[in-house]
Structure 1
Amino acid sequence: QGADNLAPLTQPVGYLYRIVRNLAFDLNRRVTLENRHTLRDELLDEHVSNTPSPEQEALHLDELRKLQHALSRLPERTRQAFVLHRLKGLTFQQIGTQLGISVSLAHQLVRDALTYCAEQLSDD
C-alpha cells in the first residue's frame, strides 16, 4: 500500500498549478487572519488611557506636597537657585549673575537642593 500503488500523473503541470493555487489561498487566509488580529490589537491599544489612575494621582500629589515642603525648608538662596535652574531653565552662569554669586556656588546650591529634596522624598 505504498508508493507502488500510485498512478502516474496524467497532467503534472495542472497538478502543480493546483498546489500553487491552494498554497496561495492558504497564505491569503493566514495573512487575513493575522491582519484581523493586528487590527483588533491596535483598536484595543487606542482605548488604553494614558491618564493616571486615581491612585497614581494621589501618590503624585503626595510626592508634590513633600517636595513643596522640602523646598520651603531650604535656605532662601538655595531655593532660588533650584527654582531658577530646574523650573526656569537658567544656566549656572545666569543664576550666578542674577543672585550675585559665583558659578560654582550656584552649582553647589542647586546640587544641595536636589540632594535634600531627594532625601526627603525617600524618607517614607
Structure 2
Amino acid sequence: MKEAEARQIIEAYFHAAMKEPDIRVFTAFFAPDGVLEDPVGTPPLRGREAIASFLEAGKSKLGPSEIVVREIITCGSESAVRWSGDLLTKRGERLNIEGIGVFTFDEQNKLRHVREFYDVAKLLAIFS
C-alpha cells in the first residue's frame, strides 16, 4: 500500500469516528473479523459488531471532534500514524490529545488490526 492511499483511508476513518460519527461507515473500514485495540492495554474488540458498540459508547460522551493526521509512515501493509485530536464532550469541555496508531490492512485495504496509543488518564479525567 502506498502512503497516500493509507493516508486517505485513515483520514476518512478518523472523520467517520469523530467529526461526523457514522457507525456504518466507520465499521466498513474494518474487515469482518477486524480487531480494534483502543487504547492498547484494554481488551481487543473483535469484529464489526463489537467495534460498532465501542463507537456508539463514544458517541454518547463526545460531540463532533476532530483528529488530524500529523505524520504517517507506511511499510508494506502497515502504517504508523502520529495524530492529534481536539475533542469536545457532550458537557462542552475541550480536550487536546495526541496519540500514535498502528494500522494493519488486508489485501482488500480493509483494516485487519488497529492499535491506538494515547494518554488514557487524560481522556478519562473529562468523563469522571
TM superposition score normalised by structure 2: 0.23
TM superposition score normalised by structure 1: 0.24
Q: Which has the larger radius of gyration?
A: 1
Structure with the larger strand share: 2
